Structure 1
């Protein structure tokens, strides 16, 4: 029996992508989650772990590096051959500390992964999304990408510089606005979503303990927020920059 909803989650081998893949697969026997992973080795391990938890729905693995056009094209070809449709794209893959030798290179690499890649992937998947009865794109952004929030002093996170990350997420937010305005006529719903301050490996394994001490929550809470969007509970806020638990950011 074919699944009623095909979902692609990028950056799915750890953190928010990992927990989201499980939450979506567990939510319904009609859900099939494609775990997009840059590393097949890490992806295979993650897939086996999640399958061992016996979710109601199904999962599969897809090699996908959003920073290269060749990988995106290959992934789209694979999804087309296997499913012929895509219902939900969760653009989650991202970096915060690029391995670059210069500031310019760091800015360029972060933009490529966090902003250019998600936009190009979404655009490449539009033909498959157009075949869905309820197409959705969720761009996993960050409150650090809100220009409005950056101009508010003395609040949590205001001491974080991270220009490369902030700029890349602000650019992703513009990609969200463009994807929505350019394609809403045929019914696609698009959001930017801030997953909150949670414990992931985004800033390195060694930073996990620091995050916990600073009040970071489990990335399972982010997954709950994404599931709510997929299930239609935030449809009234389509085309906006939303947070977990009903919150919203100004752009």
Structure 2
């Protein structure tokens, strides 16, 4: 059995896909479980990664819908049966809903970006506790930083774009996720290494508004492989000095 069992949610595209590829390329010691609500899409993503021919680790897939408690617990039971433990949990699955109706966009963003990761964390905690060196990483966003959003000198404070017109649902859900990560880090400081992590502004399917233009940030989004490298650095222990904090590739964000 590989020495590190790593579960990543939301892996058929974007940061989750890139992280799966980066980690599987790194070492034969890593086994990445690619999870998603569409097993067909996740299996296609795995096949694409494996076809690249430079994979040292191994990959498997599992159905996991963060909005469905039964799906979450079934996935946990399957991983318990197959591996007996989990070494790294990367809560990555997210949406950036921009529905014009306030209640709709708040509900969808909070359910997927905050409640979902909370349920996943609860379900997989027993398996993480069986690891000798467990990590839990919450993929957040710099827009969830209250300090940055309230600073007049911050780009967040000054931003006025089509996305931010309806962006309070996403930002609020990521602020809530940051609090969840912080609470979990405090409660499990002696038994688990927990981080919130900002992947940066990268190409993804997070936004499904205005087609490909939104997915690529109107041409301004970066390469999600960089985000995958940041996640790899965390699970390799290179960011342990920032344990329990809100990290990004170049440092630490204030809460």
TM-score (structure 1 length as normaliser)? 0.93
Q: Note if contact 1:199-1:212 (Cα within 8 Å) is conserved in structure 2.
A: no
Aligned residues: 246
CA–CA separation in structure 1 for the residues paired with 2:217 and 2:175? 23
Q: Distance in 1 between matches of 2:47 and 2:18?
A: 14
CA distance in 2, matches of 1:31, 1:190: 19
Alignment of 1:33-44 (within 5 A): 33-44=32-43
Counterpart in the other structure of 2:67: 67
**Aligned position for 1:88:** 88
Partner in structure 2 of residue 201 of structure 1: 205
How far is 1:211 from its partner?
2.3
Superposed displacement of residue 147, structure 1: 0.5
Equivalent residue number for residue 142 of structure 1: 141
The DSSP-based 3-state class of the residue aligned with 2:89 is: strand
Show the counterpart of 2:193. 189
1:175 to 160, 174, 180: 180
2:224 to 219, 222, 231: 219
**Cα shift at 1:103:** 1.8
Contact 2:205 2:215 in 1 (8 A): no
Tell me, which stretches of 5 or more residues in structure 1 are unaligned? Answer: none
In the alignment, which residue of structure 2 is the partner of 1:114?
Answer: 113
Deviation at 1:177, TM superposition (A): 1.0
**CA gap 1:153/1:72 in 2 versus in 1, 3 angstroms:** same
Structure 1 position 209, deviation (Å)? 7.3
Provide Cα deviations, 1:78-102, integer angstroms capped at 9, x if missing partner: 110110100000100000016x684
Q: TM-score, normalised by structure 2?
A: 0.92
Measure how far apart 1:207 and its partner are: 2.1
Aligned residue for 2:105, secondary structure, equals helix
What is the rounded CA distance, in whole Å, between the counterparts of 1:94 and 1:209 in structure 2? 13
* Stretches of structure 2 lacking an aligned partner (at least 5 in a row): none
Structure 2 contact 181–194 (Cα < 8 Å) conserved: yes
- 1:153 CA displacement: 3.0
Does the CA contact (< 8 Å) of 1:141 and 1:169 recur in 2?
Answer: yes
